[in-house]
Amino acid sequence: MKMTGNTILITGGGSGIGRALAEAFYRLGNKVIVSGRREMRLRTTIDANPGMVAVELDVRDPQDIRLVTEQIIAKHPMLNVLINNAGIMHVDDAAGTVDEDLLVATVTTNLGGPIRMSGALIPHLSKQRDPVIINVSSILAFVPLAPTAIYSATKAALHSYTLSQRYKLSKLGIRVIEIAPPWVRTELLNSLEEERALRSRISSKRPWRSWRPARTRFSSGLPRKCAQIPGRTNTSGWASSMT
């Protein structure tokens, strides 16, 4: 994809991987719009990056998605890149009673969010130059972590959806990219201080090549070196088709 001169919307852009992506793309000369549910996190992000724009958006709410995306298009008509990054991760028990609230919230955020956000913006993106949709899945889409079975399943579903989306949107000229990060120091499962996780710092020169987890050891039993998975998705943390 073109790395500069874009107008980019990043969901979940107030912290973690979303913020790291936002700042990397911003330094490259892109106009960046970060969205999320937590106003204070968004404010902190844009205060640290003067010129970056923030909008409150709950990707669990179809009505909010419709209204906010319409407002974004009106204010930023050159929007040509959507990064579906917003996600939640909780411990669950695949051998126990289902926590309905956890199940619905995780599926609605991690899978429904990207599907609905893409659907809301595809008519607009199809009219732009160099349109791109980037879906942030996870290495756990391919090697699930049993204590977070629902999260892992939603990321596997997002990977599958991305493959179909890439095929269908190629006819409209919209490029679809999947990023499958490894274990990164974010707020997910309180991993900010976890020494075994990678730092969520992304180079502004090559945002998609800044995680280098090829020899990272995972306590969950994940392999030291993650294999390339067919379907143009690299689970060692690089983006697929991001050139």
Query: What's the chain's length in residues?
Result: 243
* Residue 151 bears catalytic tag: yes
* Secondary structure (3-state) at 217: coil
Point out the catalytic residue in the list 26, 151, 161, 167.
Answer: 151
Residue carrying the six token digits 């490029």: 175
Number of neighbours of residue 54 by Cβ within 10 angstroms:
22
Q: Residue 226 and residue 235: Cα distance in Å, rounded?
A: 6
Tokens of 76: 């930023």
Q: Residue 232 and residue 229: Cα distance in Å, rounded?
A: 7
- Got the DSSP string for 165-214? HHHHHGGGT-EEEEE---SBSSTGGG-TT-TTSBP----SS-GGG----T
Residue carrying the six token digits 């710092």: 201
Tokens of 152: 């892992």
Q: Residue 119 and residue 221: Cα distance in Å, rounded?
A: 36
Tokens of 196: 């075994």
Burial of 62 (0-12, 13-18, 19+ CB in 10 A): middle
Instruction: Name the residues annotated as catalytic.
Output: 151
